[in-house]
Amino acid sequence: MEKLPDMSKATILLFGVILTLAASMVCLLQRQARSSLEGKVIEVGLIESGGMPALYFNLRNTGGNYANYTYTIRYNSTDRGLVADSSSIMVPPGQTFYYTAVLTRPSQGVMVLNLKIYRGGGSVEESLLHDQTWIIRAQR
Amino acid sequence: MKKAAKDLLRVFAVASLVLSSMLVAFAWNPSTSNLTGTDSSTDSSVSGVNRRFNIDGGPSGTYGMQAGDDSDSLALLMKMVTVTTSNVPSSPPATVSPAADSDDGTATAFGFQRKCFYAKGRYWAFFYRCPGGTSWVISYFTSTDGSTWSEGAQSPISTSCDEGSRFSLFFDGTYVHYALRASSNYVLRYRRGTPRTDGGIDWSAAQQTAYTANSTSTIYRPCIAVDSSGYAWIGFQLNDGTIGVPYIIKSGNNDGTWGTGTNTKLLSVGLVEGTNGGYSVAAIPLTGGKMLAIYTANSQYVMTKRWTGSSWGSQVNETTSKALRGFAFSATNEGDDVHLVFTKSGTPRSIVYSKYSYSSNSFGTEETAAGSTYVDDSRCGPVLSINRKNNVLYCFWTTWSYMYYNTRGTSWGTPTQWYSNSPYWVESTTCFYESNGGGIGMIHLYSDQRVKFAARVNGGFSVGDMSAGDQYEMNFTVGSKDFAMLFNATGPTSGYCNLFYKDTGAGSWSSGTYFSQTSIQTGTEYHDTNTYIGFVLTNSTSSADGSAKFIVSKSYLGSLGASGTSVTNIVSVAYVNGNGRPKPSGTTPNDRCPSTGTASYTLQQGGIGVPEFPVGVLVLAIPLMGIYFYLRERSRTNRGNCIGEAPRHE
């Protein structure tokens, strides 16, 4: 088999790179465009960093109208015993509500942390969208 | 080929520089020096309400609020007044108990037992009284301004406690806890409740039995405190009929019920409880669940024993001087250290101060808080409190009709004769354990059988002195969107920041971002996980304004529909008892800035609402540019090489 001249190989390689980069750009732009319309309805996470773990959730209203949600966060705090934080929120269509709570890691034992998110203004089980529990251990 | 490679490297180098500058350009939290332009020049207090906040007043004339921006964020700053001190009421003291009362001399006894505090925008005073001269009860009264007092909805809280010195109270920043001896001489009761903004109390549970001694025993002078983990402790003297020993108990529960915890006899050898003699025990909370028991008796040294969080220390430490009376002492904590004052035994009389250090487990050198010129043989003894804004100590005491105080920052000043109520004399007195956001108040009973109140209030803002419900809010408009950013305190060093938005002129607010934070420190910037909103709270000092600074991402505002370079309708307001929503309905602002109208600001470092260009696209496009230049250069080179070349033949 005849060897391709050096120039041809380089050209093919360059065009290959160009195509790859161009395809990546298209994908990136498409992904950004999609991310504002679709994606998860609820994204929940616990960031365990040092003595200040952070609970967060992002709640997107994918409907066409304003929507009410209720969230309840309960945890046993070393300082204050059982802490319950509940609030109702209104989220416009297509918008996202962002929640972050920076907590204090217990000095001993564990902290049991529970998050519940409901659709609407109440907290009936039928409208429960999300229910998750974490156990945060004391810092060693 | 070498030249092409050089070109490629050159392009990549330029691209890297561009990218680096883009990364460095990300900015957040404009510095204070960048915040300019919208100071309010007027002191715009809202009349008719308790003016605990002062967000636009200062001694130097640079009042109000400021705005500023950098390339990525907008910051709004609400200024707080410098630390200043004033009397509440302006002509103290105010009368708390109704005219029909014939209150007992122990109504507010004893100083170390505490019977008053500040919470939810109100002063709270509990005392032993005889309404209408018929029955004796423990009642409580509240006041929003320190002048006008009314009885609380849950008052009286006890009809069977038979002396003021058998009741003690502690406010931990969230809950009020009380301990009292009622019905039986050998039983201690406990209850916890949440003070309400309307002066009521939401009890956590029914009154609990905390301790039951032998039925032949008698309990004297209970003193309650709550440790940093929410567990209640009660110190008291347990007397078997002849000998009294200092005792302290701890609840095993921290939910408002009393559970079996620890019962500790602090000394195995007691004293005879003579007239006003015998031991008194004060429980003083430290950090991390630690506790200090302080106890003394007539003409005894003041002793301590420390709880490490899991066990008692082995040794009792003593002051250099002896206390005149077992109940004539008072103490408060600063971290793990404890400040103590007591009336010194012997003549001439003086009020002695000493600081207990947890790290060395010992008292420091004694100082004189008030010399013999200012002290007589009053039975009340001194009472001590601490201003959490600046850790300045306040010591109050009385001689006959005169009320005195002295303060200590790093050393004691000269005593101040505060007021008198001649021809009546003071029979008992106590004060706040700490400032709790409402200054330092005290209650005392004059011989006219009326309980009085007075407070020294420190203006200015301090993170450690916030009270649950304190709300600092800034409203502004960008383009066609209204925004409200607020900080609502949930405790002395905790709270949450909220951003709400709506179409301009619309009625209801939509929720944008919520961010809560604990262990807040002055001057530290906190933000949510997305870096959309953040805040910085800075303490006032005696020479500089404090502030609440709100920071919000411009791109985030743009994503909510804001656009343009003009920030208009800027107003800052402060509320006590805020509910975390913008402009709480039915709540009058404590203060507003500016007093009328609004302020505006033009963004200096780029507008809001410009769509973000994905950095990723730039990262991909730059190599493409490099390849393009490379190909172009190579094409030129090739063309050059072809000139004059002979055609190739096979």
CB contact under 8 A, B514 and A28: no
Sign of CA dihedral B450, B451, B456, B458: negative
Q: Do B514 and A100 touch (CB under 8 A)?
A: yes
Q: How close B27 gets to chain A, by Cα (Å)?
A: 21
Option in B519, B617, B627 nearest A17 (CB): B627
Residue A47 forms contact with B (CB below 8 Å): yes
Tell me the torsion sign for CA atoms B485, B490, B496, B502.
Answer: negative
Residue A128 contacts B, CB cutoff 8 Å: no
What average pLDDT does this structure show over A26-45? 65
**A vs B: CB pairs below 8 A:** 92
pLDDT for the residue numbered B40: 46
* Chain B interface disruption, residue of A30, A77, A100, most B CBs within 10 A: A100
pLDDT at B640 over 80: no
Q: What share of chain B is helix, strand, coil (3-state, %, to 5)?
A: 10, 45, 45
Report the distance separating Cα B593 and Cα B580, nearest Å. Answer: 19
Share of chain A above pLDDT 90, in %: 42
Q: What's the mean pLDDT in B35-58? A: 51
Per-residue model confidence as pLDDT tens digits over B381-437: 999 999 887 789 999 999 989 999 999 999 999 999 999 988 999 999 999 999 877
Q: Which residues of B touch A28 (CB under 8 A)?
A: 614, 616-617, 620
How near does any CA of chain A get to the CA of B104, in Å? Answer: 36
A91 to chain B, closest Cα gap in Å: 6
Chain B contact for A97 (CB, 8 A cutoff): yes
In CATH, what number does A42-137 get? 2.60.40.10
Comparing CA positions, the residue from B280, B283, B292 lying closest to residue B327 is B280
The pLDDT score that the predictor gives to residue B196 is: 93
B487: tokens are 């900080």
Q: What is the pLDDT of residue B6?
A: 61
Q: Is the pLDDT of residue B265 over 50?
A: yes
Distance from CA of B72 to the nearest CA of A (A): 19
Cα atoms in the Cβ-side hemisphere of radius 13 Å centred on A38: 5
If one compares B31 and B156, the residue with the highest pLDDT of the two is B156
Q: For an interface test with A, which of B510, B530, B631 has the most A Cβ atoms less than 10 Å from its Cβ?
A: B510
Residue B481 has pLDDT above 80, yes or no: yes
Residue B251: its pLDDT value, please? 97
Instruction: Summarize pLDDT for B501-547 with one digit per residue, the tens.
Output: 999 988 899 999 999 999 999 999 999 999 999 999 998 887 777 88
Choose between B592 and A77: higher pLDDT.
B592
Give the chain B residue whose CA is nearest to the CA of A108.
B288
CATH fold of B85-458, please? Neuraminidase (2.120.10)
Answer yes or no: is pLDDT of B461 > 70: yes
For residue B4, pLDDT beyond 70:
no
- Please answer yes or no on whether A102 and B509 come within 8 Å at the CB atom: no
Residue length of chain A: 140
How high is the pLDDT of residue B121?
82
Q: For residue B506, list chain A residues with Cβ-Cβ distance below 8 A.
A: none
Confidence of residue B20 (pLDDT cuts 50, 70, 90): very low
CB within 8 Å of B223: residues ≥ 6 apart: B112, B113, B114, B168, B179, B234, B235, B236, B280, B281, B282, B283
Find the mean pLDDT for residues B570-580.
86
Residues of A in contact with B516 (CB under 8 A): 85, 100-102
pLDDT at B355: 97
How far is A116 from chain B, CA to nearest CA, in Å? 16
pLDDT band at A100 (very low <50, low <70, confident <90, very high): very high
Q: Which residue has the higher pLDDT, B98 or A35?
A: B98
What was the pLDDT predicted at A37?
41
* pLDDT given for residue B647 in this prediction: 46
Nearest by CB to A98, which of B229, B509, B528? B528
With CA atoms as reference, the chain B residue closest to A66 would be: B510
pTM: 0.70
As a whole number, the mean pLDDT across chain B is: 85
pLDDT per position as a tens digit, A53-64: 999 999 999 988
User: What residues of B are in contact with residue A113 (Cβ under 8 Å)?
Assistant: none
- B373 by DSSP, 3-state: which? helix
pLDDT tens per residue across span B141-194: 999 889 999 999 999 999 999 999 999 999 999 999 999 998 899 999 999 999
pLDDT, tens digit (0-9, with 9 covering 90-100), for B180-233: 998 899 999 999 999 998 999 999 999 999 999 999 999 999 999 999 999 999
Residue boundaries of the structural domains of chain A: 1-38, 42-137
CB contact under 8 A, A99 and B513: yes
| Average pLDDT estimate for B615-623 | 64
What is the tens place of the pLDDT at every residue in A116-128?
Answer: 999 987 777 778 9
Distance from CA of A40 to the nearest CA of B (A): 16
What was the pLDDT predicted at A66?
92
Please tell me the predicted confidence (pLDDT) of residue A80. Answer: 61
Query: Given an 8 Å threshold on Cβ–Cβ distance, is B620 in contact with A78?
Result: no
Selecting from B174, B496, B511 the residue whose C-beta is nearest the C-beta of A97 gives B511
Q: Contacts of residue A85 in chain B, CB cutoff 8 Å? A: 516
**The pLDDT of residue B642 is above 80:** no
Residue B635 is predicted with a pLDDT of: 73
Which pLDDT score is estimated for B113? 97
Angle at B335 between CA B330 and CA B340, to 5 degrees: 20
**Whole-number Å distance between alpha carbons of B416 and B411:** 15
Which residue does chain B place closest to A77, by CA atoms? B229
Q: Do B624 and A28 touch (CB under 8 A)?
A: no
Q: Considering only CA atoms, which of B534, B525, B462 is closest in space to residue B497?
A: B534
Stretch among A32-36, B260-264, B273-277, B364-368 having the lowest mean pLDDT:
A32-36
Q: Which two tokens stand for residue B21?
A: 């500058």
Question: Which of B253, B499, B516, B581 is the mutation pick for testing A, counting most A CBs within 10 A?
Answer: B516
Rounded distance between C-alpha atoms, residue B438 and residue B119, angstroms: 8
Contact residues on chain A for B627, CB-CB shorter than 8 A: 14, 17-18
**pLDDT for the residue B11:** 57
User: Hey, are the CB atoms on A98 and B509 less than 8 Å from each other?
Assistant: no
Q: What is the pLDDT of residue B618?
A: 64
The whole-angstrom separation of Cα B377 and Cα B349 is: 7
Give the other-Cβ count within 10 Å of B379's Cβ: 17
pLDDT of residue B90: 83
If you average pLDDT over residues B267-296, what whole number do you get?
A: 83
Selected residue with higher pLDDT from B263 and B278: B263
- Across chain A, mean pLDDT equals 81
- Mean of the pLDDT values across residues B588-594? 76
Taking contacts as CB-CB distances below 8 angstroms, the residues of chain A near B528 are 56, 98, 100
In Å, how far is B458's CA from the nearest CA of chain A? 27
B591 pLDDT higher than 50: yes
Mean pLDDT of all residues in A46-54: 87
Write out pLDDT tens, residues B320-347: 999 999 999 999 999 999 999 999 998 8
E strands, B437-493, in order = 440-446, 450-458, 471-478, 481-491
Give residue A23's pLDDT. Answer: 82
Do A120 and A32 form a contact (C-beta atoms < 8 A)?
no
Q: Do B627 and A29 touch (CB under 8 A)?
A: no
Which of A14, A98, A107, A113 is the best mutation test for B, with the most CBs of B within 10 A?
A98
* pLDDT at residue B605, rounded to an integer: 86
A25 contacts B617? CB cut-off 8 A = yes
Query: What average pLDDT score do residues B465-471 get?
Result: 86
Backbone φ and ψ of B124, nearest 5°: -125, 130
Whether the per-residue pLDDT at B109 is higher than 80: the answer is: yes
Q: Look at residue B237 in the predicted model and tell me its pLDDT.
A: 94
Residues of B in contact with A87 (CB under 8 A): 514, 580
Is the model's pLDDT at B253 over the cut of 90? Answer: yes
Are β-strands B392-399 and B402-408 bridged in parallel, bridged antiparallel, or unpaired? antiparallel
pLDDT the model gives residue B626: 73
Question: Chain A: residue nearest B557 by CA?
Answer: A95
pLDDT at residue B458 tops 90:
no
